[in-house]
Structure 1
Amino acid sequence: MISLPYSNLINAGAVLTLVVSCISLSIIIPINVIADTAVTFTIPLKETQTVEGDAVTLECQLSKPDLKVAWLKDGSEITPSEQVHITTDGTWQRLTLPHTVLDDEAEYAVQFNDQITKATLWVEEAPVRITVPLPQTTTILEGDTTTLQAEVSKEGAETAWFKDDLEILPDVDEKFDIAIDGAKHSLTIRDATIDDEAEYTIEVGTESSTGALLVDEVEASFVVPLRDQIVKEENDVTLECQLSKPNQAVKWYKNDTEVVPTEDVEVIAEGTIHKLVLKNAKPEDAAQYSVRLGAVTTEADLTVEEGAVKFIMPLQETSALEHQMVTMECQLSRPDQDVKWLKNGEEIKPDDIHEVSVDGTFHRLTLKDTAVDDEAEYTVTLGDDNTSAKLFIEEIPLQFIVPLSETTVEEKQSVKLDVKVNKNNVVLNWFKDGTPLEAGERIEVTVEGCAHTLKIHSAVLTDDGQYMVTAGIAVTEAPLHVTEIPTEFINPLEDQQCTEFQDATFSLQLNKPNKKVSWFYDELEITPNEKYEVSSEDFSYTLKINDAQMTDAGKITAKVDDISCSADFIVNELDVLIIVPPKDITCSEKELVTFSCELNKPNVDVTWSHNDKPLEHGNVFEMRVEKKMRYLTIFSAQLDLSGTYTVTAKDKSASAKLTVDGKYQSFNKYDFF
């Protein structure tokens, strides 16, 4: 027999090869070796059901630990990823899907050599939910476009939109546009009208969300006003304007007299366009014409030209420095002619800056204080003829002529920071410590000509800082110092008194809000609880003592910063009252009898007596106390226990009679005491 060491056994699957090595001979002998123990699945995979989106784990157990297995899905090997986690824990093999999808439904298998276990994973589709509903109310102006949006729990979900109870079909009505962006579903409503005001609903599955759309009506206005016109005598002329809304009833006026249609006067309305057609114009047709819609109006002058007048000296291109006076002039071939001055096509109305003058055949426009926006093309019109020229304005640099100055203010006082620039009505920017300031409840910004003021009402400590004003590239800055005022009692504590069991309130008022006030009872600091309620609002601070007891009387003190105030708390004892007296009782002999009464407060000692003789607790009588109730029980009524029973609480008493029916028992009732 040949003896071989175990180290000479080489694993060759189910067959082991034995190598025998001798001094001069090598022999290879194939041997079949039976493994110590076959690997088996001690706990197979189990059929599992889950809901889409949930996490799920499939697991099985092998008879040996730390073995490498293959996981299969519908016969195909699974590769671990962020969506698939494969782990081994000793003999346990696990596959986890952290977020299941419908495609995860399949037959899963675990294979080790020729051993395999299989089970089916069923994935139930999750219902689609509305995760972000429509806004409850959306308000827009008539003519605006708005979008209503909701978000659902699943991308690609089918939804339906409704206006009130009627489904919206964008293919039928071009006013609406339905869009889907992942899980976001939106409905766009174009050019809203009053008829679009309704409740809009989105439905997905069994869920829905509804929001109201409110459309504020916009008053009609003239988007294209009447324009002055000049017409030659006997020619037709049309005055025309346009409103922002169609189907509006307007009235035409000639020099404040309503126009009545005739053969030569035609009034036309075409949607938003309104026209007045004057046929065969006559000199008497020259007037100011206006169109009125309620309080809204537009007007223009109609001139009926009698003859041709020419410009013999046109306007000339002119340049001026900002804030200078400049005059533009032209000359006509005939005096006493009415002309119009226009700036970039808009008629110039004389005012404090624009002065229009006529000197024979010369017509002049004088700008007394030029501004940058006066740079434009100026035109003089006369009938169909006109002359135009450019006016150029050279801007002067914006500068501070009065800069910011360092300022100090006491807390709660108002303060003004003033600057002046070299131009009127320009926009300045205010900053505090580099942060832009905006007007609000405490901060007021005013402009008066070239003077600009920042007013801070009721200054607080946080207003302290570096303030800066910018005007174009010009900058001025200075510090503002806010000095703190000491804390003071505006209304200190006052003595309070109340009756026992009532509530009492101590209040004080400081000159500052949001201060930490500490409350004390006879030098012992009070901790807020059910007994003591501490509150504050603005400048008022309050301590409420609930259900006052006689022991609560003492000195109440409030301390804040380094000041304090105190007041006495007096608790008056409540008089004892018997609010429900005992009632008369009739009973049979040997029956158990109980008298009861109710006091107006607890913790009060009472005494009971029978025919004015005090009673004691014992075998015959039992006396009990329950909160405000007092009880006297007679265990076995006897004939000689009949009589008057009286309960006494301090200086108050109440009585009731006991009547015992039955045979007289011969014993002394007081033998039981």
Structure 2
Amino acid sequence: FTIKNAQPTDHTGTYSVRVKEVESDKVPVTVTKKVPKFVKDLKANKTTLTEGEQLILECELDMAPSDVKLQINGETVPEDRVKTEIKDKKIKFTLDNIKLDESGDYTVKINDEVDSKPVSITVNADIPKFVKNLTINKKQFDLGETLNFECTLNKPFDDIVWLKDGQPIEEDAHIQFTKDGPKLKLTIKDAQPTDHTGTYSVRVKEVESDKVPVTVTKKVPKFVKDLKANKTTLTEGEQLILECELDMAPSDVKLQINGETVPEDRVKTEVKDKKIKFTLDNIKLDESGDYTVKINDEVDSKPVSITVNADIPKFVKNLTINKKQFDMGETLTFECTLNKPFDDIVWLKDGQPIEEDAHIQLTKDGPKLKLTIKDAQPTDHTGTYSVRVKEVESDKVPVTVTKKVPKFVKDLKANKTTLTEGEQLILDCELDMVPTKVELQLNGETIPNDRIKPEIKDKKIKFTLDNIKLDESGEYTVKINDEVDSKPVSITVNADIPKFIKNLTINKKQFDVGETLNFECTLNKPFDEIVWLKDGQPIEEDAHIQFTKDGPKLKLTIKDAQPTDHTGTYSVRVKEVESDKVPVVVQEKSITFVKDLKAVKPTLDESETLELFCQLSRPLKSNETIQWYRNEVVIP
């Protein structure tokens, strides 16, 4: 019996032959349309990529396809986005410069009727890092100088914006941007105060460098030696000499008294390079006042107060003190010497008479006068001191008494300003004195002591934060003795994202009841936040299930697998990253006839014994039964 050109609908069925009343065995036959099958499932070169990398997907069929389409999340990938190569039964897809929004489940549709198993692809952002943060050789520039800002990234990037005071800047006649691989440079030539003073930074993608403040100023003369007189108290007819020194040669100088220019025929002016000298002979009574020098019509010296007396007391040695700045509790000693002893002596502070008390002592030894202040206090003893003898007042000596506060000789500095969560942050600084209290602060809030390890060795301070966290990015400062703050250090903490070096696998996908299932994968490093999933839901260890972890290697073992409990799709989630999904089926081992049913004698005489025998693939279970039939009718 022959059937040619068999068709599924017409010729699928169970066949037998009946000869007279005797029918042969029944033979079931199925005719199907041949569809492609995957001999090698769809597989990616990498399942976790960084944006910009190349994704390659490959598979192999048991027959050459007539049509193939790559799909992501059920949507066909446009032809201009993917390069498709078909060589006989092998198929290869290439996607260059992978994008963030191209994460998802990739499948291949063959001949519009067969889909591959999905391959889950994760695309992570490519985040720039500053290997060397933005720097400039100095912060103060003169008009016309060239400014060079430089930094180095971990790799070249294209999305670069230079900023001044938080706003983008563009190239012009002064400004030039250069890029040499990962090295970035901003050059500002012929810098101008108004245009180029500001705070500079560079933003690469969404990451901004340190902010660098720069000031450009017009260079003006400065006094390296203030205006000074040979004598500040003179008797009319004496000679007054005033001298000063600049940091550059002046173009114009004028001597002024009480803001009015002294006539040229009254003063002899000598300018030698940066040194200036004025001489007034035969000083007059009405030439008492505050003398200043105006340089180039823009800079004034500090005033020098000159007193011209008639025949009255003279200060042979004017009022002096060894220094002008004192710490609380020190002793202040003012001294002066007159031309002869006088009795009408009044000591002044801020122009007001002072008297002796527990701190203040006034002494006189002939023409020598002395004011001693013991255990000086900031509020009581800071001021300008002088002594008035008859109508003649000494030089005024300003003195400041301050409570000594710590100063930073080395600013707060971090071992790294950009860290990955889990790393160690170390912050160091050094003071000019031993502190009594130190606090590390983040964004103005004190960090608890159980979070940091502070170390104080004399004037050096060190803070250690182990296992840095994402929410610990921000501005770090140190508060000393509840009164002095360090300059802030900006710290950025980036997420530590797991990567599957070897994705989740199992040696086969079909298992019999009672077998052991072993799922394995390998991460780029050990992580703690691990959740095993079955059909997207977390699973826990029990009598069948065991989780093991050996450094970056993870393993899920299921012993004595059961169809209902253990059939499903398995994956593992590490932090927020999930592995490939691996489907597994556990099934009962089906029973089959190893030897078909046969009769010892197929033809018997009436009353003879009929013996039938067959052999099964396995023993019957307690809940399985045997049923005999004759002519498709159950034998009781």
Asked if these proteins are the same fold (TM beyond 0.5), I'd say: no
The TM-score range, normalised by the shorter chain, is under 0.3
Structure 2 length normalisation: TM-score? 0.26
Which is higher, the Rg of structure 1 or of structure 2? Answer: 1
| Structure 1 length-normalised TM | 0.25
